[in-house]
Amino acid sequence: MAVLDSVSNETSHRAAERYVGVGLMDIYEKVIAQERLSYDDGVRLYQTPDLSAVGYLANIVRERLHGDRTYYVRNQHINYTNICNKFCKFCSFYAKKGGPAPYEMSLETVRQRLMEHLDVPITEVHMVGGINPRLPYQYYLDLLRTVKEVRPHVHIKAFTMVELIEIQRQAQKPLETVLLELKEAGLDSLPGGGIEILSERVHQELFDRKLDGDGWMEVARTVANVGLTQYATMLYGHIETLEERAEHLVRLRELQDETKHFVTMTPLSFHPEGTDLDTIPHPTGYDDLRNIAVARLMLDNFAHVKSFWIMNTAQITQLSLWYGADDVDGTIHEYEITYKDGEFGNKKQVLTRRQMIKLIEEAGRTPIERDSLYNEIPPLEEPTERLSHIIPLTATV
């Protein structure tokens, strides 16, 4: 039996070597042994020209954790204001001369937006906005309460770390007190954005009016202390280096070791259109898949890695399910932080439940509808009139 095991192990080793190459076999051995990868390993995974090898390694981890299961959620996004005083160079969302017209949603407008989709069994409302100094603390509390009044059982995921700092400024209270009051008003979790990438160099060059990486992590610790779940992101494809990407993942992993409150990591593909960086080329599908794969390999203490189809296309999201991703986000309904290529300004970005299922099944995976905390939801059909193909899925894998 020992001889047979030895032969089997040698055969597996040779097969793996054909897939990943001699140069990555030490990382393969770590992945098989479930050992933590180092910062240097992360840099090598970004630098190696063999994307298929990185995807192969990431898929080992993905299938170890989730098998073929692939999650999606029926959600709605609400961007309550685009007025912002941070003027980040990577952002096309905020109101500016020659750009989007300024707006701030009244509570009645928010109510109307929610009512528009009341016939769909949405389980999550995702709300973020600009840093608008005219909005008082009471607005944020009433915003949460309005959502809960219209949809009492929905999970509210709202406010990046930068928004929380502004809300605290308006409240003139300790952050922990503010979080507890927001929680009482209906806040269930935080999307975790606002830092883009944990690099002081990038912070100074692109978004120096926002809090820095250390400040972001300190807010995250306070969020964990009050018992709120959080999600993590990384915006890539602008001016960051491969080394800074790897450092971002390592710092997130260290913070997760400490707080244990992150659920999902979502790599976000930069869209240069309408930003101060509009001469930078858009990240390629090759880069999208690599960032998902490296995130899955480096973040051994994150349960889930998400491919956000809005930012990297539905077709790349299909491929990503073999490159480490186990989540495809949700139905969205409206989104105005970024837009489809060639459709700048088109807020109607939505996939129906049936399209979500089709997307996942075409990729050879098993679709699982979830809530915001990854509890499985029994299937509920959408009304017939909702089932038109709003975004066609023309590519298969």
**Element containing residue 169 per DSSP (H, E):** helix 161-171
Q: Name 37's Cβ contacts closer than 8 Å, sequence gap at least 6.
A: 27, 30, 31, 45, 297, 298, 300
Residue listed under structure tokens 């509890």: 375
391 DSSP 8-state letter: S
> Which pTM does this prediction carry?
0.90
Nearest to 196 by CA among 280, 296, 91: 91
Distances (CA, A) of 17 to 45, 110, 224: 16, 55, 41
216 φ, ψ (degrees, to nearest 5): -60, -45
Q: pLDDT tens across 92-129, in order?
A: 888 887 778 999 999 999 999 999 989 889 999 999 99
Residue ranges and CATH numbers for the domains of the chain are 2-65 (no CATH), 68-386 (3.20.20.70)
* Number of neighbouring beta carbons within 10 Å of residue 65: 16
Nearest to 111 by CA among 156, 155, 158, 78: 78
Between residues 18 and 46, the one the model is more confident about: 46
With cut-offs at 50, 70 and 90, classify the pLDDT of residue 393: very low
Helices (H), 240-329: 242-259, 285-298, 309-312, 314-320
Between residues 256 and 381, the one the model is more confident about: 256
Whether the Cβ atoms of residue 79 and residue 337 lie closer than 8 Å to each other: yes
Q: Which of 13-22, 34-43, 158-167, 388-397 has the lowest mean pLDDT?
A: 388-397
Q: pLDDT tens across 152-176, in order?
A: 999 999 999 999 999 999 999 999 9
Report CA dihedral (158, 161, 164, 166) to the nearest 10 degrees: -130
Reduced 3-state DSSP string for 76-95: EEEECECCCCCCCCCCCCCC
Q: Name 366's Cβ contacts closer than 8 Å, sequence gap at least 6.
A: 67, 68, 69, 70, 360
